[in-house]
Amino acid sequence: MCGIVGYVGHRDAYPIILEGLKRLEYRGYDSAGIAMFDGTNLKVSKTKGKVLDLENKSTQENNINGTIGIGHTRWATHGVPNDVNSHPHYSNSGDLVIIHNGIIENYESLKKELLKRGYTFNSDTDTEVLINLIEDVKKNEGVKLGKAVQIALNQVVGAYAIAVFDKNKPDEIVVARLGSPLAIGIGEDEFFIASDASPFLEYTKNAIYLEDEEMAIVRRHKDVKIRKIKDDSLVDLYIQELQINLEQIEKGGYDHFMLKEIYEQPNAIKDTYRGRLLVNEAIIKMAGVEDNMKKFLNADRIIVVACGTSWHAGLVSEYIFEDLARIPVEVEYASEFRYRNPIITEKDVVIAISQSGETADTLAAIKLAKSKGAFVFGVCNVVGSSIARETDAGAYTHAGPEIGVASTKAFTTQITVLTLIALRLARAKGTISSSDFRRHLLELEMIPGKVEEALKSDSHIKMIADIYKDAKNFLYLGRGYNFPVALEGALKLKEISYIHAEGYPAAEMKHGPIALIDEQMPVVVIATKKGHYDKVVSNIQEIKSRKGKIIGIVTQGDKSVKDLADYVIEVPETLESLTPLLTTIPLQLLSYHIAVMLDKNVDQPRNLAKSVTVE
């Protein structure tokens, strides 16, 4: 993970890099650092902690200025988070500095060689090995920095997005990528480098996204050239116009990004179906599906690969695809799938779901599926991300930037896209009647309004959060379409409040988890009117007889659960297949309020990062 930023041009680089790091903090936030050349000296400031700590430290200790610099916000892989292990790292001569996002897997053998040649190391990081390898190549081969980086990278096994500069040539930054994202913003006589485009949105809308195994040298007053790391061949430049704006990546008056993103869901879902869901014409239009309709229709099965919350969206889609389109679905953790020697054939369609589009395990699963001849379809949020580019076709969720580490609007928009695909395929296969199809379209179109309605329970949910915030454990139960929602509710709570929570299919409770229930255990039960309602009510009774505390997520106007539960939270009625889009909302708000009341860092929970680009 980690976020990297760089600048070379005519402006003061310090504020650009610092602000850029703040925007990339979602990628890692256990330490941060900056290196700048001020015309005479190379100044480096780095610290354990957040970018704010770096800001305090760097302004106190160093009068940092200059028009070239690089910065880093870290999610530790090699070496604990401390000042020494923070990036940037220097070479032994003190001339070269580097920032790195990724892992150099063969760093130990490289380090052994460098130690033999007299190099010394201050940190425990793989990155310090890489910068000394570059220095060693530069010296021994008598080549310029760009060439030295290239030769060194050809000896490296692993993943990286790097930016390197030499204090003796303070007009250029060398960048390269393999497996970790790297965008280059192109201004007038200036270049910006970053893990995504957010750090340079106010300066330029033109960006190049490096592909894997590519490198570039960005120089003042020069055009950028991109080369293949392996064979040095030149690559055609593809400059993209950025579609996101600054407003989308700011908090907009909310206390936290997570809360803002929860409240953005009505619009995000609308943006997801806009132009695709055409109710009046009773059609669904999705180019990625239309163009590959034969592949979908001839598929023996769909295999969904994803991680975390995206995997939960995949689980919801299993119900939707099987129920509506009658296509068998298997939902796989990408991290397991990639190492399992799975049986994949050319008649499989693999759907890869990822908000960031950068998750290393999902990317590896895609590559495996492609190598076996499967058609791979991506459902991503981040436009131009690695997964979006690696898949054969796909559909974006159009949720807008999701900054809070806990995924919220990504989940509901992923479900929206997957529902659209399932409905389109159901229509093409004739597994849904035209009246049922139209009913689904109408209901889906009404979902944003109903999400708004569900959000109105916010203060009621806050009151419930206050009552249960000190519980040590939570259980989340749901059935059918809402079983994955129970898993997602439990994940939301544990990742931001650090309270242990487990999600279960409600009927599984009697096979074990029921032993956990006592008067201390809050149990959140999703018990909407459609979908095994009576059975879930029986489960609630079982909990009640064991003195568990029940928080029911119910359909508006429900009476039976209200009589049994300690508290209920109502959501509007909709079709069973669409209930996850509504039942998720109170669970997001419940975990949000509990985490805030416990004074946790909601947007940047400990040990996590938004984009998991390591295994």
Binding site for ligand F6R (CB under 6 A): 307-310, 354-356, 359, 362, 406-407, 491, 495, 611-612
Q: What six digits make up the tokens of 190?
A: 């200036």
Beta carbon nearer to ligand F6R, 307 or 426: 307
Beta carbon nearer to ligand F6R, 6 or 489: 489
Beta carbon nearer to ligand F6R, 1 or 568: 1
For the chain, what is the total number of helices (H) and then of strands (E)?
20, 27
- Active-site entry in 167, 260, 409, 610: 610
CB of 595 to ligand F6R, least distance (A): 12
Answer yes or no: are the C-beta atoms of 88 and 181 closer than 8 Å.
no
Beta carbon nearer to ligand F6R, 156 or 368: 368
d(CA 155, CA 599): 46
> Quick one: which of 378, 366, 244, 358 has its CA closest to 609?
358
Beta carbon nearer to ligand F6R, 58 or 265: 265
d(CA 374, CA 366): 9
Q: How far is CA 487 from CA 310, 438, 501, 524, in A?
A: 12, 30, 9, 11
d(CA 500, CA 491): 9
Beta carbon nearer to ligand F6R, 101 or 309: 309
d(CA 584, CA 312): 11
d(CA 61, CA 81): 20
Residue ranges of alpha helices (H) inside 154-251 are none
Length of the chain: 615
CB of 166 to ligand F6R, least distance (A): 35
d(CA 312, CA 314): 5
CB of 254 to ligand F6R, least distance (A): 18
CB of 361 to ligand F6R, least distance (A): 8
Walk across the sheet containing 158-166 and list its strands.
89-90, 96-104, 158-166, 172-178, 214-219, 225-228, 234-235
Q: Is 282 left (phi over 0), alpha (psi -120 to 50) or beta?
A: left
CB of 386 to ligand F6R, least distance (A): 10
Beta carbon nearer to ligand F6R, 362 or 412: 362
> Quick one: which of 232, 43, 214, 40 has its CA closest to 144?
232
d(CA 551, CA 556): 15
Q: Is 610 part of the annotated catalytic residue set? A: yes
CB of 75 to ligand F6R, least distance (A): 12
Beta carbon nearer to ligand F6R, 35 or 609: 609
Q: What six digits make up the tokens of 36?
A: 């700048």
Q: Is 380 part of the annotated catalytic residue set? A: no
In this structure, are strands 31-37 and 567-571 parallel, antiparallel, or unpaired?
Answer: unpaired
d(CA 57, CA 55): 6
Beta carbon nearer to ligand F6R, 304 or 307: 307
d(CA 238, CA 216): 13
| Residue 355, amino acid | Q
CB of 484 to ligand F6R, least distance (A): 13
Q: What six digits make up the tokens of 272?
A: 């997801």
CB of 495 to ligand F6R, least distance (A): 6
Residue ranges of alpha helices (H) inside 384-529 are 386-390, 409-429, 434-455, 458-468, 483-497
- Active-site entry in 2, 138, 167, 409: 2
CB of 448 to ligand F6R, least distance (A): 22
d(CA 383, CA 401): 10
Known catalytic residues?
2, 610
